[in-house]
Structure 1
Amino acid sequence: MRDEYRFTGLPLADIRPGTSVLVSGPTHDGARSLSMQMLAGGYDEGAIIVTTNKRASRMAEDCQRFGIDVRDDRTAILDCVGDDDPDVPARVLPVSGPSDLTGIGMRFSDVYREFKTTDIDRVRTGLCSVSTLLSFGDLRTVSRFTHTLVGRIDKVDGLGVFVVDPSGHDEQAINTLAQFCSGRIEVRDRDGRTELRTRGLADQPREWTPFDAFP
């Protein structure tokens, strides 16, 4: 069995390969920060990040700030926004927009195949964010896409991190998305502290637990 995915500086236990989690919380309260920290892996791991609301150059800066080793041979950004900056250190693959779910899926498969040719077969995938996809498409379509991507991540023993802001969606929508993931991590800001708790993930904190959201 492959080694589990580990998280430096977070109150999270190791997670088995093939797991995808839904990170739920207002992005300004640390949900995005948590997801970026979860995508920071070891020297032998790759990262695929789908950015739906931030330019690739800004996303690359965020990756570096949160400890992701940004290099074009191990970090790919699927850019649904559009970025003409040629100096982004990651490999940037353009997607026509957040509504092009087929394009996102095809780009993911292309990048993973290329990673395999360079002996990178441990890949962390982040979707930032599902909320943007929902603003461009209906719940049924986005849920089907999420289900498909989760299945691909499971098949290749990867790690998936899907970010959603619950303030813009009803509880039914969040629960629908969560059912396709292995578990859910909720994030909140309370009395100046950023906290997380988990659902559906073994050996993880079930009570609100503080973490350092901003390095």
Structure 2
Amino acid sequence: MYTTAGSLPVESLAAGSRLRCLGPPMAGKRSLLIELLAAGVDAGEAAIVITTDMDAKTLFAAVPALDVEGVAVVDATGTATTDDRVHVVNSPSDLTGIAIATTEAVTAFTEAGYDRIRVGVDSLSTLRVYSDGKRLFRFFHLLTGRARDEGALFVCTDHDTDGGGALGSLFDVRVELREGETGSERRVTVDGETTEWEPAAPYDVQRVEHERTVHAISVRSFQHVRDVLTGDDLTLVACNPTVGDSDLEAIRAFFEGLAVTVETRQVEGFPNSVALLHRGGEFLAADQLVTVAAAVTIDDSVLRRETVPDVIQQAYRSVHGDHYADPQTLVRVSRQFELEAGRGGVGTVHAGFRRLSRVTADAETWDLYRRLAAAGVEIHIYGEPDIDLPDHEGITVHTDLTDELRETWFVVRDGPTGGALLAEEVEPETVPEDGPVDDHPHRGRYYDAIWTRRADVVDGLVDYLGKQQP
């Protein structure tokens, strides 16, 4: 059994329990996850933190209770380190790398004699930005299954407030969080029984100020940023493929999400089913297509691998893109960057809405910005003044805009592992006939979008936007 008294309104949970912490933005989900992990460490248990948007160094500074032996971090921000407690993964989209690193950490703690291990994933919401539903389900199916088999306590956070669907079937404990009249409240559903809502004090997470560690690029325009991010275009060639069409489609979808062009070629005299990655005329890596397909589809062999295929490792450039992104995708990316600022309570968020009416069209958006400002984040909102936004301390509204500021959907957040999103609406006639089709309320609206966590680009954009203000 794992003791949870003091963190949850239940005394303990069985070994192998899988918890999904659900709630709206800034409801205290990360705080709860850290609290559960730190309580285990204090009791002599091991802890594994899978972090998708906070590098290990920042995590240890923010939570000193985790900066100890018996803690391992799977750092999916790609931040290099010499700390042997940290397993670095290139990107949150590298689910194969995350699975391998987590398995290595579990094995190491088991061999070291730990009989109780707590595993925390922060967050499912970030992973959802970078991976489709099928890959995400397979990933969590593998991790939760391994946790159950090892008798670990598995915890993940999610901005979803429903918690149903296929992913929901992988978890046997549901933890809900909400903002009550006097602060955060929690309740738990386990074995078909739901507790009453109980107040919960947030865990003490230290604020970590952002220190620039790279030289920011000198940004001339948003188009300049796009050119910088796409200037080293990569191409993956599937030569003489013998894998199935479904595997080829999975490979194509995965690499195109990394802004990599995918081509299929029949080459006489060349080996069958080989994946070649190159930049212009420069060869970068090669792997068997069957190996690449297994990695991108997250099959059961992932947990038996020791490395990620070379073509995948070489493809990660901290940049993601979609030529026909729907508004829902952009909202998820935007929200992720915004919420990361709120967790630290430091830094600046610049957000371009094109029109100010879009800020208040969704009540959650305006409420989130007010709460971010109250937490100490400096907010800058850009848009055509088709409405008057209410005055609010910490929020500055900009309406004297250049053409690119007026026409671009953008979110730029500085701070540790900051991020930037730039998106321009695609004219309807440019969308191919076999382009994306969906049933969401904005059907027919698509954007040529690119987003990145490259620190030199993000810091350069922050400086550039500061110069555009009167």
User: In 1, distance between residues paired with 2:169 and 2:63?
Assistant: 28
Moved more, 4-13 or 203-212: 203-212
Counterpart in the other structure of 2:75: 79
SS at match of 1:39: helix
Which runs of structure 2 are paired with 1:6-45 in the superposition (5 Å)? 6-7=3-4, 9-10=6-7, 11-40=9-38, 41=40, 42-45=42-45
User: In 2, distance between residues paired with 1:161 and 1:134?
Assistant: 16
User: In 1, distance between residues paired with 2:45 and 2:186?
Assistant: 25
- CA RMSD, Structure 1 to Structure 2 (Å): 2.1
Kept in 2, the 8 Å contact 1:56–1:82? The answer is no
Which string of whole-angstrom CA distances, capped at 9 and with x for unpartnered residues, describes residues 184-212 of structure 1? 1010111231101122x149752211111
Task: Kindly provide the amino acid, as one letter, of the partner of residue 203 in structure 2.
Answer: F
Query: Once the 2 structures are TM-superposed, how far is the Cα of residue 43 of structure 1 from its aligned partner?
Result: 4.2
With over 3 angstroms needed to count, the CA separation of the structure-2 counterparts of 1:31 and 1:140, relative to structure 1, is same
Counterpart in the other structure of 1:209: 198
Which runs of structure 2 are paired with 1:41-56 in the superposition (5 Å)? 41=40, 42-56=42-56
Percentage of identical aligned residues: 29
User: In 1, distance between residues paired with 2:17 and 2:97?
Assistant: 23
Counterpart in the other structure of 1:119: 113
Task: Kindly provide the amino acid, as one letter, of the partner of residue 6 in structure 2.
Answer: G
Which string of whole-angstrom CA distances, capped at 9 and with x for unpartnered residues, describes residues 150-189 of structure 1? 000000000000110127xxx4x74332211112101011
User: In 2, distance between residues paired with 1:76 and 1:27?
Assistant: 26
Task: Kindly provide the amino acid, as one letter, of the partner of residue 176 in structure 2.
Answer: E
Residue 189 (structure 1) aligned with residue 189 (structure 2): no
* TM-score, length-scaled by structure 2: 0.40
* TM-score, length-scaled by structure 1: 0.85
SS at match of 1:59: helix
Question: Which structure has the larger Rg?
Answer: 2
Kept in 1, the 8 Å contact 2:20–2:158? The answer is yes
User: In 2, distance between residues paired with 1:102 and 1:121?
Assistant: 25
Kept in 2, the 8 Å contact 1:12–1:205? The answer is no
Counterpart in the other structure of 2:2: 5
Kept in 1, the 8 Å contact 2:20–2:171? The answer is yes
Which string of whole-angstrom CA distances, capped at 9 and with x for unpartnered residues, describes residues 48-77 of structure 1? 11000111112223432xx44x32x41111
Counterpart in the other structure of 2:324: none
Number of residue pairs matched by the alignment: 201
Counterpart in the other structure of 1:175: 165
With over 3 angstroms needed to count, the CA separation of the structure-2 counterparts of 1:14 and 1:50, relative to structure 1, is same
Kept in 2, the 8 Å contact 1:7–1:37? The answer is no
User: In 2, distance between residues paired with 1:163 and 1:152?
Assistant: 18
Q: Which structure is richer in relative contact order (CA contacts within 8 A, separation 6 or more)? A: 1
